[in-house]
């Protein structure tokens, strides 16, 4: 019997939503939440002996401590397989699943598997380290995700060979293997070219990355009369982070009024960003969002005016889809407000 330990976050553990994202790791015997479907998919070959639950915020903000604690919990059960998620497109959850899977694989030497949507930031961070079953964008795809994860997990636990991503349903890892085909490569390449020229369907054997290309805007010719706005992925927010922007894998952005603000002081602003030492940003948030310098430029006539609002979010682990959604929303507001140029800062 294959012994399985399952990892889920506070939501799927039935503890709560975002308001409970700071709960510390806990272990429960047997099956919890989506583990019921996982148990059915695993069948008679495996048993879920324990479920570990941890809040997404707690894990990502206390990475080393949370990982060490969870590893100790797992060791107790001596499992043959570790399964995390599925996380779908939940960024912090995906990063947590990927992080703990890698730690389990590296430290305990047992097979691991997770499940995520292809745009989850956890995919780019961990696709080379572990098998990640490809899932839908949201939990509505649970019925498809669980069988895919179970199939992969069982094969890994039994030491069976894993086929290609297309065959097994996992996200490509960038690993290439030599295989024998009936027709040599040159002939297959010509066949694909002919099919492409005819407009017929074909499947490439060497998929190329899809790079997002953005055409540059025309230069601002009259800076002395231009309205300039500040946008940052450095997480600068008013003191105490009033909109509760997450420190990692942000699901929101903030819009804040700086009309009359000449300097971002330690008493009034801070960073919500995780993943780097925030000390110097908290001492002087102008280091990330240069309001003080732009006020000087405004006074000296270098620029026409600093826009009264700045927009901010956290770039740490935030999905490309969310980032594009944020930008498409507030870019319209910037255009409507007559902004001619944006200074985009990060950490």
**What digits encode the pLDDT tens for the residues 175-190?**
877 888 899 999 999 9
The CB density around residue 184, as the number of other CB atoms within 10 Å, is: 8
pLDDT at 207 over 80: no
CATH class of 2-168: alpha beta
Which of the two residues, 321 and 38, has the higher pLDDT score? 38
**What value does the mean pLDDT of the chain take?**
92
Is the peptide bond preceding residue 319 cis, with omega within 30 degrees of 0? no
Where is 146: in which H helix or E strand? Answer: helix 142-157
pLDDT-based confidence at residue 246 (cuts at 50, 70, 90): confident
Q: Which residues contact 224 (CB under 8 A, 6 or more apart)?
A: 301, 302, 303, 304
Output the DSSP codes for 107-128. Answer: HH---EEEEE-TTSHHHHHHTT
pLDDT at 60 over 80: yes
Domain ranges in the chain are: 2-168, 223-345
pLDDT at 211 over 80: no
Residue 320 is predicted with a pLDDT of 79
Phi first, then psi: give them for residue 88, nearest 5 degrees: 50, -125
The CB density around residue 292, as the number of other CB atoms within 10 Å, is: 16
Structure tokens at 59: 């894990």
Burial of residue 106, with CB atoms counted within 10 A of its CB: 0-12 exposed, 13-18 middle, 19 or more buried: exposed
Which of the two residues, 178 and 102, has the higher pLDDT score? 102
pLDDT at 158 over 90: yes
| CA angle 285–344–346, rounded 5-degree value | 50
**What gap in Å lies between CA 232 and CA 87, rounded to an integer?**
27
Helices and strands: H and E segment counts in the chain: 11, 12
Which of the two residues, 320 and 120, has the higher pLDDT score? 120
Where is 254: in which H helix or E strand? Answer: strand 254-257
Say if residues 58 and 80 touch (Cβ distance below 8 Å): no
**What gap in Å lies between CA 5 and CA 16, rounded to an integer?**
21
Residue 71 is predicted with a pLDDT of 97
pTM (global) more than 0.75: no
**What gap in Å lies between CA 279 and CA 264, rounded to an integer?**
14
pLDDT at 212 over 80: no
Tell me what the mean pLDDT of segment 268-275 comes to. 90
């Amino acid at each position: 019997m294959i012994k399985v330990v399952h990892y889920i976050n506070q939501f799927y553990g039935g503890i709560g939503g975002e308001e409970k994202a700071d709960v510390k790791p806990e272990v429960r015997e047997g099956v919890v939440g989506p583990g019921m479907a996982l148990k059915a998919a695993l069948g008679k070959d495996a048993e879920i002996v324990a479920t570990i639950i941890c809040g997404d915020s707690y894990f990502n903000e206390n990475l080393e401590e949370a990982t060490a604690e969870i590893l100790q919990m797992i060791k107790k059960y001596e499992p043959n397989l570790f399964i995390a998620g599925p996380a779908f497109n939940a960024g912090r959850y995906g990063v947590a699943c990927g992080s703990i899977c890698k730690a389990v694989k590296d430290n305990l030497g047992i097979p691991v598997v997770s499940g995520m949507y292809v745009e989850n930031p956890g995919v780019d961070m961990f696709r080379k380290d572990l098998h990640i079953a490809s899932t839908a964008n949201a939990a509505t795809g649970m019925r498809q995700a669980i069988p895919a994860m179970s199939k992969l997990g069982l094969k890994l636990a039994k030491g069976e060979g894993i086929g290609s991503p297309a065959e097994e349903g996992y996200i490509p890892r960038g690993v290439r293997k030599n295989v024998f085909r009936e027709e040599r490569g040159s002939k297959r390449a010509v066949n694909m070219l002919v099919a492409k020229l005819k407009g017929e369907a074909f499947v490439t054997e060497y998929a190329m990355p899809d790079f997002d290309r953005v055409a540059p805007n025309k230069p601002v010719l009259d800076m002395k009369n231009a309205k300039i706005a500040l946008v940052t992925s450095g997480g600068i927010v008013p003191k105490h982070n009033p909109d509760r922007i997450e420190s990692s894998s942000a699901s929101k952005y903030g819009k804040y009024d700086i009309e009359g603000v000449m300097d971002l002081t330690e008493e009034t602003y801070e960073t919500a960003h995780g993943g780097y030492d925030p000390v110097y940003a908290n001492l002087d948030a102008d280091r990330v969002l240069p309001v003080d310098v732009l006020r000087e430029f405004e006074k000296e006539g270098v620029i026409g005016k600093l826009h009264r609002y700045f927009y901010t979010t956290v770039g740490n682990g935030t999905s490309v889809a969310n980032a594009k959604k944020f930008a498409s929303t507030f870019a319209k507001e910037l255009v409507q407000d007559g902004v001619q140029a944006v200074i985009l800062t990060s950490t």
